[in-house]
């Protein structure tokens, strides 16, 4: 994982784990690397990983059992909410970008429909 210099490393780690939950790399209930192991793998301070895990625990994205490890939540409501938030963010950013190109909402909908039908390749 490469880190950017704009965002704090712990937030980038959280976003990476969220993406892995969304795309199915991490499944509900799956164990994730220990704090120590992830710090070693990423070459970051263990306190950085501790902060990321603590925030994810507070958001109920992961559950930690003392002596057993940390696991992705099995709560499908939380996972669905995470996916919905990501989808909304992508759609919102895309629509705003298309609007900045001077496209109307009607044109944006038509463009999306053409894209979904594969007509964008013509």
Residues ≥6 apart with Cβ < 8 Å to 62:
17, 32, 53, 56, 70, 71, 72, 73
Instruction: Give the pLDDT of residue 121.
Output: 62
Instruction: Give the pLDDT of residue 50.
Output: 97
Instruction: Give the pLDDT of residue 1.
Output: 86
User: Of the CATH numbers 3.30.2420.10, 3.90.78.10, 1.10.10.10, 3.30.390.30, which one belongs to the domain with range 9-74?
Assistant: 1.10.10.10
Going from the first residue of the chain to its last (122 residues), give the mean pLDDT of each consecutive group of 10, the final group possibly shorter: 93 97 97 96 96 97 93 97 95 95 95 87 56
Give the span between the Cα atoms of 26 and 13, in whole angstroms.
14
Phi and psi, residue 17, nearest 5°: -70, -40
Composition of the chain by helix, strand, coil, percent to 5 = 60, 10, 30
């Amino acid at each position: 994982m490469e880190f950017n210099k704009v965002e704090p490393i712990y937030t980038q780690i959280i976003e990476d784990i969220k993406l892995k939950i969304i795309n199915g790399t991490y499944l509900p209930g799956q164990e994730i690397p220990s704090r120590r192991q992830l710090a070693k793998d990423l070459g970051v301070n263990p306190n950085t990983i501790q902060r990321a895990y603590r925030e994810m625990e507070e958001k109920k994205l992961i559950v930690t059992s003392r002596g057993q490890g940390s696991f992705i939540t099995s709560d499908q409501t939380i996972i669905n909410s995470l996916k919905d938030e990501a989808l909304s963010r992508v759609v919102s950013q895309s629509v705003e970008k298309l609007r900045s190109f001077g496209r109307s909402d009607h044109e944006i909908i038509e463009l999306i429909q053409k894209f979904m039908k594969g007509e964008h390749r013509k």
